[in-house]
Structure 1
Amino acid sequence: MRIVVAILLILPVTFSFAQLPYSPISKSISPQPGVPSDPNGQLRMGATANDILRQTNQNNIYYGTSNDPANNQRVVQAMIKEKMAKDPAYSSGSQNSFQINKQQELFNLLKEIAGQDMNRAPGTVITPENYSSDEFGLKTKSYTDALQVLKDMLSDKRKLSVSDAYFIMENAYGDAYLTQKEFKGIIKESADFIREWILQRNLNIKDNTVINYGVQQFMGERLNITTSKQRTDGKQSLETITHLPFKYDFNDYTGDKDYRNFSLTKCLATGTGQCNSLPAVYLSLIEALGGKAYLAIAPQHSLIKYPDKQGRMRNYEPTSHWDITNEWYLDNMFISAQAVRNGIYLNPIGGKQMIADIILQLSFGYFRKFGAADEKFIVDCINTAKPYFPKNNNLTLYFTYSNLYSYELAQVMRKNGINKLSNINQSSEAQRLYNKWLENEKIISQLGYQDQSKDMYEEMMKYHEFRNNIQQEYNFNSKEKRNLFIK
């Protein structure tokens, strides 16, 4: 978790690689200890737009006077802008004024890396000398094969498909909720349903705004279509097919207990997801219907962008079934002016950039199971994805670099018996890696990335924990397979 460490108690920067408790990571909340970043390169994913609004304004006595989220937004708008105007970290043209203790940040990273082998999935711990063995090659084959398929999409050797790319990436990790046949079957059945729903309302199936509207209604509302069915006596009868809306899964939405909770296949199989998997479902359905839509990133969050009839880019929240303006995100998610200028947030990602982003997600699953190993796979993912972000403003890449440099530094420190950051200068290689890490962190800061305060983050967790209790109270198991189609 990237946090403003100035608000934490500063611990002595010394530790043992042998026995070490887990502590939060900077930059992101890992799916489990030892994983440097979630699939979007942000800290814990999953909050809905309304959740962020709610916890941001928890102390405002006027918030919540209306059940209309848009009206709630207007009520608190002036207060939020006033707070941001007084905060130099978010004022126009400023640099991040928080004095981050970089040694403490790195200390937290190294502690997590030191605990990787103890916490990684059983049976996957490999010693360094075995990384080139046939045994390790067999264990990691699903990942090397998946990366090659994604590379083929980028080089036009294979048809580019966002839904296929998601499945390939998730299937590499193993134990997917759906087989490829099941996955493709649900996508087709869903797309056929949406297409028929649009046609039965005499809407233009070739209009991109209509296609996006259809997908939005499909994901957020209970919909019905009427079809003709042949009876056993040979006569035709009408049949009503109902599709239930997707639900937000508050139970382990960060993937701490089960990494698959991030996945598109889990969302399709159970009808429940969060802000990583629900947008993935949306993009897959748009692709199946021949429409256009894009992924976009906000702090702790991902969302959908799509062009309307006038060519304007609109935003849609699959997590809360909202159509929200950029101004809402700027005001309520505290995106700095610097971050806007550099385009690290709210920029549409599609086409080959989307495949490149999925390649980075592929590396996260690899890291969860095998760590960085000999680093070749992680570096290959970075080098493959990087050219598709020519503005050098993809935060995920820089977060991955920082975690990789930290991993390398941890190995050098272990090799040289260094257990204090203050003794890094005892090894020229350790000092070199530390400097590389600092340089990369400087780039992240210059792009306008802001660490989220610990208090704000903890309040959001308390709120989600409350919502999770509601799910349990109603005996709602968000991890079980269920068919959202009722015939």
Structure 2
Amino acid sequence: MRKYIHIAIIALVLISTKTHAQDFLYDEAYKSIDAMLKGEKPYSFKNAVFEVENAYKQGLLDTTYYSLAIKTIAHLTKSVMQSRTLKDYDYSDRKEVEKYAALYTVMKDSITINFKDGQSKWTAFTYDFNDIWGDDDWSNMFVSKLLDTHKGNCHSLPYLYKILAEEIGAEAHLALAPNHVYIKHRNQKDGWYNTELTSGYFPIDAWIMASGYVHLDGIRNGLYMKALNNKESLALLLVDLAQGFDKRFPENDGSFTLRCVDKALEYYPNYINALLLRLETKKKQLQEYAKSKDKEINEIMDDQDGKVAWIDLNHQVRNIHELGYRQMPKEMYLDWLVTLKEEQEKYTNKKITTFNKQN
């Protein structure tokens, strides 16, 4: 009997140690991103992305391998820049625009690579219609998965693009639409323009508005279509970190999630996914509180703490709506993406498409 007790104790210790190690990875990823935000550590979107993914992977992500993969693709991008010229672009920022064009080519085109003893074919990164929300496997949202398979989604594709841009010394801004992330660039000829990596087109803003879920208040308040700076991009990663934590530890008390969300909102106050995750987490906490009182969530108004939490919850809902958020049903998302391909003439920025086609 004593033998079995000892075995049980050892098992509990091992489980506890493993859980603590996983918590540690999330805490370390949070601290690293926080240090970047504060300027206490050099900014690196790539490093931050891989730290977030490694936390979910329980420390098993081979960051050295994936960093080398990034360097290899960056080298290919520079080779494309050297071997091709832009079409009809004669402005002082030509060198910068060449970087954008080369990045787009590497991300969305197949390329024949010549060697002394033969040729190799570079395969473009494409959209993966399988598990686009990461519901079955959260790692389907990861850049590392994209690098392994050359298939990704509107989360991993723009993240990789931004990583590669920074690797070759180019500037790329993440931007948000409902349930979606894309890239914004700026050049002297055309000003701001959009790069859509799921389809490989350059949509005008009207396409984003055509989703039907972009309220003008949402644009004015920076929920959507804003060119995010680097700190705001790191805020996105803090929410990714929190979502991964919730996936890994579904029974958590919400404290780590709120820690990430609050820090994200400190640097991107109207980041809609952070606001929604905070609302969802606070609601779960209130449900647990009501459960501890043997009540339903709508029966706690006679409890002072519960009443305060309920009022705060409703205030958050009202604030999110006033900012311009309108929920886009998941089933409508793919329909909206397809419209860009089906209605190219209507929604594609033809000038940008032309000069990104290289000779």
User: TM-score w.r.t. structure 2 length?
Assistant: 0.81
User: Which residue among 234, 237, 240 is the counterpart of 1:358?
Assistant: 237
Partner amino acid, structure 1, of 2:287? A
Hey, which of these two has a bigger chunk of helix by percent? Answer: 2
Q: Give 1:406's aligned residue.
A: 283
Partner amino acid, structure 2, of 1:140? D
User: Which residue among 299, 303, 317 is the counterpart of 1:427?
Assistant: 303
Where 1:296 maps in the other structure, the secondary structure is strand
Partner amino acid, structure 2, of 1:275? C
User: Which residue among 152, 155, 159 is the counterpart of 2:42?
Assistant: 159
Instruction: Name the CA shift for 1:189/1:149 in 2 (closer, same or farther; >3 Å).
Output: same
Q: Is 1:442 aligned to residue 318 of structure 2? A: yes
Q: Is 1:417 aligned to residue 300 of structure 2? A: no
Where 1:140 maps in the other structure, the secondary structure is helix
Where 2:243 maps in the other structure, the secondary structure is helix
Count how many residue pairs are aligned between Structure 1 and Structure 2. 318
Superposed counterparts of 1:167-182, under 5 Å: 167-174=50-57, 179-182=62-65
Partner amino acid, structure 2, of 1:416? K
Q: Is 1:137 aligned to residue 137 of structure 2? A: no
Instruction: Name the CA shift for 1:291/1:315 in 2 (closer, same or farther; >3 Å).
Output: same
Instruction: Name the CA shift for 1:463/1:199 in 2 (closer, same or farther; >3 Å).
Output: closer
Distance 2:242 2:182 in 1: 22
Residues 204-255 of structure 1: per-residue CA shift (max 9 Å, x gap): 998221111111111111112434xxxxxxxxx3643421111211111221
Instruction: Name the CA shift for 1:458/1:147 in 2 (closer, same or farther; >3 Å).
Output: closer
Superposed counterparts of 1:364-383, under 5 Å: 364-371=243-250, 373-383=252-262
Q: Is the 8 A contact 1:286 1:292 kept in 2?
A: yes
Choose between structure 1 and 2 for higher RCO, CA contacts under 8 A separated by at least 6 residues.
1
Q: CA RMSD in A?
A: 2.6
User: Which residue among 301, 309, 312 is the counterpart of 2:191?
Assistant: 312
Where 2:185 maps in the other structure, the secondary structure is strand
Instruction: Name the CA shift for 1:197/1:463 in 2 (closer, same or farther; >3 Å).
Output: closer
Where 1:143 maps in the other structure, the secondary structure is helix
User: Which residue among 256, 272, 294 is the counterpart of 2:151?
Assistant: 272
Q: Is the 8 A contact 2:238 2:264 kept in 1?
A: yes
Instruction: Give the drift of 1:198.
Output: 1.4
Q: Is the 8 A contact 2:74 2:168 kept in 1?
A: yes
Instruction: Give the drift of 1:185.
Output: 1.4
Distance 2:229 2:66 in 1: 21
Q: Is the 8 A contact 1:293 1:350 kept in 2?
A: no
Instruction: Give the drift of 1:393.
Output: 1.9
Distance 1:225 1:461 in 2: 34
Partner amino acid, structure 2, of 1:207? K
Where 1:207 maps in the other structure, the secondary structure is helix
Q: Give 1:223's aligned residue.
A: 111
Instruction: Name the CA shift for 1:461/1:211 in 2 (closer, same or farther; >3 Å).
Output: closer
Where 1:425 maps in the other structure, the secondary structure is coil
Instruction: Name the CA shift for 1:312/1:195 in 2 (closer, same or farther; >3 Å).
Output: same
Instruction: Name structure 1 gaps, 5 residues minimum.
Output: 1-129, 228-236, 465-487
Instruction: Give the drift of 1:416.
Output: 0.4
Distance 1:316 1:463 in 2: 16
Query: Percent identity over the alignment?
Result: 24
